Every structure is written in C-alpha cells, then in structure tokens.
Structure 1
Amino acid sequence: MMLDGKHALVTGGGTGIGLAIARALAEQGAQVTITGRRAGVLEEVAGNGLHPLVMDVAEEASVVDGVAAAVAARGPVQICVPNAGIAEGLSLRKMDLAFWRRTMATNLDGAFLTIRECMTSMSETDWGRVIAVSSIAGVRGLRGAPAYTASKHGLIGLIRALSEEYLGTGYTFNALCPGYVATDIVTRNQESISERTGMSAEDALQIMVKANRHRKLLEVEEISAAALWLCGPGSQSVNGQTIQIAGGQM
C-alpha cells in the first residue's frame, strides 16, 4: 500500500469529510491520528489504523500538546489535513465580534496552529503533504456567511504562502474546495435555514443542492479521493492549488 509507514493527522477526523479522508488514508496503509473535541465520537470510529486524540484546534496549548503526543506515539506527521471547521451562516448586521472571532479561531487559527506544529516533525523527513479542507466559499463569496467566507479565503491564502515558502522541497501544500457535501453540516444548515425563513425543510435543502453546479449534493468519498490523489505518485508538482469539487465551473 502506497502510504505504508506514513503518519497522518486529520483534525475533525471523527465525522464527515474528515472521517472519510482518514479512512481513505488508513486503507492505503497510513497510521492516522484523528482529532476532535468529543472523545466519544472519536472512539466510536477508532480502529483499523485510526487513532483518537482529543484536541481543540482553537486552543494553542491543546494543539501543541496534542500533536506532540501523536508524534511521540506514531512518529513524524507526514500528511497533515487541517479539516476541522465551523460552517455557520450569519449576516453582517446580525454578527457580533464573538461570533466572528469564534469562526476565525477554529477555521483559520486552528489550521495555522495544526500546520505549524505538524511541520515541526514533517521537516525531519524528506516528504510531506499538507491538504487543507477549505470550501467553494474560499474562492467566491457565500451570501449570508461573511465570517465563514473570510475564514476560508484566509485558509487558501495561508496554503498559497506556504507552498511558496517550501517551494522545491519534498512538501506540497494544497486546498480542497468542496461545495455542499452530504454530511451533518448540511443537515444542520437545512434546519437553520428552515427556522430562520419559515420555508419547508425540503425547500431549505434545495437551496444548497442548487448551489452545486450539477444540482446534487457531493458525497464524502469524492473529497477523500482527491486527498488520496494528492498523496499518491505523480502529484509531486501539484502545489499551491485550490482544487474545486463542486459539480462544474465556478
């Protein structure tokens, strides 16, 4: 298997896209540290190459200590997947600073801290991949979600800067930018839209379905397949890219 002997770390790895990526990496032989704030969720999916680690990406000490523990247990992190994020919409006039900062702390600060700490051990090796899970909102504006949009644009900026900083090395930095994916996040957004607008649950769902160019929700396996490709042979010159997975041109 192509990832035998590799240690991967996936934040938000207990559910949704993160779990799908973690399982895909483990199926190719990687030992995968999956992180999240809820021990029960992580332990429920652990095994078969997945190792749970309670870690809050919004807290620097938690990330520093968590990554250090993962490295001590399984060696240098060579595949870093900053995936943990908050996907909540709130219009500008209704948003307070606390909401803005909470979104940034998880979506952008959390990715920065995770990458920084993983690079400490990755730099001891001659090969590594950083695959950030951004969003289609990272390459265009998302109405009603300025904080989320800004955080995902910032994540892409971070990835592009790091790809230049490490240019010519054995490390690559790329961002996956999915549209709406069939996960619990979409379900929660569906409920939120319905509550705010009074529309039916089905109509609320269709808002997200129609936002994908091919007018259907994505499956998590479509995102994990892209992550796996970036770890495979022939991907070494794919660097600093935003890989859009949204059913068509944006």
Structure 2
Amino acid sequence: MQNRHALITGAGAGIGAAIAMALARAGCRLTLCGRSSDKLQSQAETLRAQVPELAVLISPMDVTDEKSVQAAVQQAQARLGPVNVLVNNAGQAQSQPFGKTDAALWQHMLNVNLTGSYHCIQAVLPGMLEAAQTGTPGRIVNIASTAGLKGYAYVSAYVAAKHGVVGLTKALALELARKGVTVNAICPGYTETDIVREAVQNIVRKTGKSEAEARQALAVSNPQQRLVQAHEVAQSVLWLCAQGSDAINGQAIAIDGGEMAA
C-alpha cells in the first residue's frame, strides 16, 4: 500500500484514529478529516511519532455539508494526489423511543450516517476512477454497524441510516465492479469508542445502573461477552484495502464476536 492516498472521516478518535494508524503503518499517505481541528492535529502528531516518514494532512470538514466536503477533498487531492482509499467512518448515534424521535433527530441521523458517506464518495470518486484506470486500485470502505444488519430498539433512526449505508455499499459495488474500485462495509458491534461511552452514560442516567452494569448490558449481545476494540475494526479495513482483496466486493462484514451468527 506504499504511496496510496487514504482519506478517513471521523479520524480524530476511536475507530477512525485506529484505522489511520493501521494505514499509516502500511505506507499510505493520509488525509485526516473531522469537525475538530484540535483532535485531528493531535492525531497527526501521534501518527508522525509512530511513522516519522508519514505524509499526513489534516482537512477539517462537516460530512453533512456538501460544500465543506468538496473543499476538503479538493485541498487533499491538491496536496497528496487523488484519493485511492476512502474510509467513511464519521457517524453518530442518538437514542430515543420511536414516539419521541422527531423529524429533526431522524434527519440528523440520516445526514451524518448516510448522506455524509454519499457526499464523500461523490467528491473522491472521479479521481479514484481515473487512478484506477492507470493501475492504482480504488477502495471504498463504509463503516456501518451491526445496526445495518439487524434492528435495535430505541435507535430506529440510526438503524435506518446504517441499513441505508449497507444498501448503498451493495449498489455501488455492482456499479463499479469492472472499474477497478471495490466497495465494502464493515459492521462493528458495540465497540470501545466515544459513542459507546455516551451510551453507557445514557443507560446510567436513565436506569440507575452502575457504569460496569451498563457496559455489561451492551456487551451481553456479543457471544464473547466483551466490547469490540477499535484496532480490531482497523485490521479489517486494512485487509480490505491491501493487495489480494480485489475479489471482495459488495460485502457487509460483521466484526461482532459472533453476534450476527445467532
């Protein structure tokens, strides 16, 4: 993967930061995207400390804003060349019973988790296809969720958005199958990230459970009885982007300790 340009959204922490580290160690040039310049800068410094020769650019963007995405991608491509690997990792989860899920919450979950991926793909795809025609394969990896494969109560808007990500993945994979670009989705179960930490605090507030009990309530759906770790998701992304993965296309791969096998 030497000298391939990877752009990662939501790269400042959690799964995005772990993916950035895995791709940096594999030799990619990186563009780190997210809403917080401070988080991105801190992550860039961490990456440089681990991979001193790394070419890394921070490019703040809001994935829900098409103009923001286009501007960030243009800056990234001007500095580091066409994007060969796109990881759509930015996402948010908010819980409410369906009866209290108003139109604003519904639309926000769609905008961040589904439309944001659409904006990023639209922005990078022309350059990615051009590079693929000259021998550098393209990889699009959408970080979905097991919520894109099954239902969970009290997060209907999030579940709908992540199902949309899986559907987009499959449709686009077929469209690009003969053009040197693969499109796949990674579907983590509950993972040790800020989203899960927020979910734990929400459970504590609403139920009176201890933090340990709340974490166990989330881990119980995993047959391994634990939370998935961010580096485990990153390893799966690296595998999809590396040499030899050309035939893996249109897949939604669960990283969940076996939850989806039940």
- Range class of TM-score, shorter chain: over 0.9
Q: Which position in structure 1 is the counterpart of 2:140?
A: 130
- SS of the aligned residue for 1:21 comes to helix
Q: How does 1:91-102 map to 2 (within 5 A)?
A: 91-102=97-108
Aligned length: 248
Task: Give RMSD over aligned pairs.
Answer: 1.0
Cα distance in 1 between the residues matched to 2:200 and 2:88: 25
Could you tell me how far 1:169 is from its partner in structure 2? Answer: 2.3
Cα distance in 2 between the residues matched to 1:155 and 1:63: 18
Work out whether 1:168 is the aligned partner of 2:171: no
Cα distance in 2 between the residues matched to 1:238 and 1:8: 18
The one-letter code sitting in structure 1 at the alignment partner of 2:22 is A
Relative to the length of structure 1, the TM-score reads 0.97
The one-letter code sitting in structure 1 at the alignment partner of 2:185 is A
Q: How does 1:144-223 map to 2 (within 5 A)?
A: 144-223=154-233
The one-letter code sitting in structure 2 at the alignment partner of 1:198 is G
The answer to whether the 8 A contact 2:129-2:180 is kept is no
Could you tell me how far 1:205 is from its partner in structure 2? Answer: 1.1
**Deviation per residue, 1:110-144 (Å, 9 max, x gap):** 00000111102101111100000000110000111
Q: Which position in structure 2 is the counterpart of 1:39?
A: 37
Q: Which position in structure 2 is the counterpart of 1:117?
A: 123
Could you tell me how far 1:81 is from its partner in structure 2? Answer: 0.4
Could you tell me how far 1:220 is from its partner in structure 2? Answer: 0.9
Q: Which position in structure 2 is the counterpart of 1:108?
A: 114
The answer to whether the 8 A contact 2:34-2:62 is kept is yes
Cα distance in 2 between the residues matched to 1:120 and 1:46: 27
Cα distance in 1 between the residues matched to 2:96 and 2:221: 18
Cα distance in 2 between the residues matched to 1:53 and 1:147: 28
Choose the corresponding residue for 1:19, options 9, 17, 20: 17
Relative to the length of structure 2, the TM-score reads 0.92
Q: Which position in structure 2 is the counterpart of 1:6?
A: 4
The one-letter code sitting in structure 2 at the alignment partner of 1:30 is C
Ranges of 4+ aligned residues in structure 1 off by more than 3 Å? none
List gaps (5 residues or longer) in structure 1: none
Cα distance in 2 between the residues matched to 1:185 and 1:107: 13
Could you tell me how far 1:242 is from its partner in structure 2? Answer: 0.6
Residue identity (%)? 40
Could you tell me how far 1:239 is from its partner in structure 2? Answer: 0.1
